[in-house]
Structure 1
Amino acid sequence: MTAATDVAGMRAGHGAGLLLIFTAALAVPLTGRADDGIATDRPDFVESSDTVGKGRFQIETSVAFDRDKTQGVRSRTRSTPTLLRWGAWDHVELRLETDGAIRSKVTAGGLTDTVSGFADTSLGLKWHVADGSEDGSRPGMAWLIHVDAPSGSSAFKGEGWRPSVRFTAEWDLPRDLSAGVMAGLYQERNSDNHRYVGGILAATLGVPLRENWRAFVEVAGQSLASNRNGGKVVTLDTGLTWQLTPDLQMDTAVFRGLSKAAPDWSWTVGVSVRF
């Protein structure tokens, strides 16, 4: 739901972009608003049921690292996942998502191959269909509809347009705990260029730590498919979020692969800003 280039230039460009975003974020007033503050779709896999609100714009960007070793083949990948969200109406937002700049290094038999480029871009929308109740008896709910476009560099470009649909639900629980589940379907192409349908299923639990700090633990079936179609990507992950202001959040998360097709370890650190 993820061509060689000058790697040094790619690093510098992305670093400058993050610096610009963070500088703009620090300019956001420190006074609070009437709402509950920024609600992000990262760093966990389960999406929030909230939209950004009519006329609001939100950017969620990060750096992510994957590590894997299978049958003597070691791979390391660095990417820059980024999500742009714009509130078209009170309960509908338009979305643009990408894994951004990617650098992949694969080592096997003493030889190392490095490829750099850019990932595909996904276009979509989120429709918030119900608010949750304060006592947790009714969840907040939303539908997400996306389509991945074959727009990336040749080394990372998918085959054709690939649609997906997800449904997410969130509960507010006693003691400021929260819980969320997400289920969905996606259409992809396998190595034989045949279309197939895969599944998505994940659950997360949010835990308050102190004022403006929260932690989460999650089990995520990010991609549920047969071995012929790439296998299952299942992870156990945990992370932290820190809301510096009502419109600025920092976060980090670590993912442990539970299935053969999942990377052994993944780690991400990111920033989200609402305007």
Structure 2
Amino acid sequence: MRTRQICLLLASSILGTVEAQAEGCPTAKDDIATDRPDVTNSSLVVPTGSLQNENGVNFSIREDGRTIDGTNSRWRLGVAPCLELLVDLPTYFANVQGPGNSGFSDVSPALKWQISPIPGKVDLSVVFGLALPTGAVAIAGRGAQPYLQFPWSWELHDGWGVSGMFTEFFRPSDFTTRRITETTFVLEKQLTKEFSVFTEYVGDFPEGAGPSLLLNSGAMYHMNRTEQVDFHIAFGLNHNAPSYIVGVGYSFRIDGLFANHPR
């Protein structure tokens, strides 16, 4: 009997927490919030019953090599309040000049849970994903590669905001670099209701190898509540990073896919 009472108490506590969170979760009335063009993902999930598609193309230079990659497509589906399913489709990397490899990256499904939807405070999400071994080994590496990610954001005053992300990438089949830690930090300014700019630091720290450091800046423009175009340019801060990366993107959201969540 005591075990049953404990289980009921835990269940009611969890349900109460979910219901409380649901009041602060994104809805179809909110503007689109994307995981691009910065490396730092949004700390907000897609509204329940909404399907969001984010796309982009990049041109990068690393030493003597030139590479184009696209379409960097990410599909995101809000399946419950503060909960989304997402999948990164394979991106094709085309080596257009100098040394380098061409091929597709892995397909990577993931689950994202927004755990602190508190307006005016720090928002935080947790993401668990898995890169499946579907791409070219020279591009994506060997074997399945799970990752754990924590994007956060904090809205300040007068359109200013800061955000960041901590990610651990695990590569069990790689005998030289079994783990990569990535940290990011973003300073963002909303200039108008539709137009925002940002500057971002990105640091990748492979186990047993030197870090790759980038400075990434860009802008986002909301064409309407559910469409966004973006631009970014990144500069390498050390020899392990690309010399520079230039990219553009387009994202859109379709609302009201579930019967109880109208458009």
TM-score normalized by the length of structure 1: 0.77
- Residue 39 of structure 1: SS of its match in structure 2? coil
User: For 1:166-205, what aligned pairs fall within 5 Å after superposition?
Assistant: 166-188=149-171, 193-194=175-176, 196-205=178-187
CA spacing shift, 1:155–1:34, aligned 2, 3 Å: closer
Unaligned runs of 5+ in 1: 1-32, 108-112
Supply the AA of the counterpart residue of 2:86. Answer: R
Q: Distance in 2 between matches of 1:114 and 1:54?
A: 41
Q: Distance in 1 between matches of 2:232 and 2:88?
A: 19
* 1:117 CA displacement: 2.7
* 1:216 CA displacement: 0.3
User: For 1:264-275, what aligned pairs fall within 5 Å after superposition?
Assistant: 264-275=243-254
Contact 2:28 2:50 in 1 (8 A): no
Contact 1:105 1:115 in 2 (8 A): no
CA spacing shift, 1:125–1:150, aligned 2, 3 Å: same
The equivalent residue for 1:89 is 80
- Decide which of 200, 203, 211 is 1:232's aligned counterpart: 211
Q: Distance in 2 between matches of 1:98 and 1:232?
A: 27
* 1:133 CA displacement: 2.8
The equivalent residue for 1:56 is 50
* Bigger shift: residues 242-251 or 155-164: 155-164
The equivalent residue for 1:206 is 188
- Residue 171 of structure 2: SS of its match in structure 1? strand
Contact 1:132 1:170 in 2 (8 A): no
Supply the AA of the counterpart residue of 2:81. Answer: D
CA spacing shift, 1:65–1:189, aligned 2, 3 Å: farther
Q: Distance in 1 between matches of 2:242 and 2:90?
A: 16
CA RMSD after TM alignment: 2.0
Cα deviation digits, residues 145-190 of structure 1 (max 9, x gap): 1111110135424211111111121111100111102112111268
2:230 aligned with 1:251, yes or no? yes
Contact 2:227 2:250 in 1 (8 A): yes
Cα deviation digits, residues 63-112 of structure 1 (max 9, x gap): 1111011xxxx1111111111101111111111114512201352xxxxx
Q: Distance in 1 between matches of 2:137 and 2:152?
A: 36
Contact 1:117 1:153 in 2 (8 A): yes
- Decide which of 111, 124, 127 is 1:144's aligned counterpart: 127
CA spacing shift, 1:216–1:99, aligned 2, 3 Å: farther
Supply the AA of the counterpart residue of 2:29. Answer: D
2:201 aligned with 1:219, yes or no? yes
- Decide which of 156, 164, 178 is 2:147's aligned counterpart: 164
Deviating runs (4+, > 4 A) in structure 1? none
The equivalent residue for 2:68 is 78
Matched residues, number = 227
Q: Distance in 2 between matches of 1:139 and 1:42?
A: 20
Q: Distance in 1 between matches of 2:252 and 2:90?
A: 18
Q: Distance in 2 between matches of 1:217 and 1:242?
A: 15
CA spacing shift, 1:84–1:161, aligned 2, 3 Å: same
CA spacing shift, 1:43–1:99, aligned 2, 3 Å: farther
Contact 1:141 1:167 in 2 (8 A): yes
The equivalent residue for 2:257 is none
Unaligned runs of 5+ in 2: 1-26, 255-263
Q: Distance in 1 between matches of 2:225 and 2:83?
A: 21
Supply the AA of the counterpart residue of 2:34. Answer: T
The equivalent residue for 1:27 is none
The equivalent residue for 2:242 is 263
- Residue 130 of structure 1: SS of its match in structure 2? coil
**Identical amino acids, percent of aligned pairs:** 26
Larger Rg: 2
